[in-house]
Amino acid sequence: MKVLFLNGPNLNLLGTRQPEIYGKTTLLDIERMVRQRAVDLKVEIDFRQTNDEGELVDWIQGSKGTVNAIVLNAAAYTHTSVALRDAITAVELPVIEIHLSNIHAREPFRHRSLISGVCRGQIAGFGAQSYLLGLLAAVNLTTSS
Ligand code: DQA
């Protein structure tokens, strides 16, 4: 079983970017945490980050037939990207939307996610743990379907 983790814009700055909201854990720390848990679960992990919307679309398109599920922190594109929504719809894979922060408790423009309606579910507000919860959700979806 293989799970693709995709991270959108500015998540490369985790650790120093608004630590009061996103915590002090870096994206590399999170990747290590995910990989460690994945060993126990016998899951192969592909973990990527980009600031480029088109690259995220390409990665989602390219994942068809190569992974069992996608765990996606689309960051700011969550709130703006019809292209990401359409790519998720087209790829016909289970996609789990995750966020470090609770987007529903923040500014009103973050309450709306353009991708939620085409994802299997959303995990938000648990900091770095959102990634581990996303991994568990991906494993459960894949093994129970
Ligand atoms: C985020 C929430 C988004 O609103 C924001 O633009 C991000 C990170 C999160 O993980 O909490 O960059 O996706």
| Greater pLDDT, 145 or 118 | 118
23 closest CA partner among 98, 103, 125, 128: 128
Predicted pLDDT at 73: 98
Q: Tell me what pLDDT residue 143 has.
A: 87
Residue closest to 36 by CA, chosen among 135, 143, 139: 135
Give the pLDDT band (50/70/90) at residue 12: very high
Q: For position 60, which CATH number holds?
A: 3.40.50.9100
Kindly tell me if the per-residue pLDDT of 145 is higher than 80.
Answer: no
Number of domains in the chain: 1
Q: Is the CB of 103 under 6 A from ligand 1?
A: yes
Domain membership of residue 46 as a residue range: 2-144
Confidence class for position 132, pLDDT limits 50, 70, 90: very high
Q: Are strands 95-99 and 69-73 parallel, antiparallel or unpaired?
A: parallel
Query: What pLDDT is attached to residue 5?
Result: 98
Point out the ligand 1 atom lying closest to the alpha carbon of residue 11. Answer: 12
104 lines ligand 1 (CB under 6 A): no
Of the chain, the percentage scoring pLDDT greater than 90 comes to: 97
Closest by CA to 79, choosing from 45, 41, 106, 50, is 106
Is the beta carbon of 98 within 6 A of some atom in ligand 1? no
- What is the per-residue pLDDT across 63-78, written as a single tens digit (0 to 9) for each? 999 999 999 999 999 9
Distance 93 CA to ligand 1 centre (A): 22
What pLDDT, on a 0 to 100 scale, did the predictor assign at position 134?
A: 98
Tens of pLDDT along 50-104?
A: 999 999 999 999 999 999 999 999 999 999 999 999 999 999 999 999 999 999 9
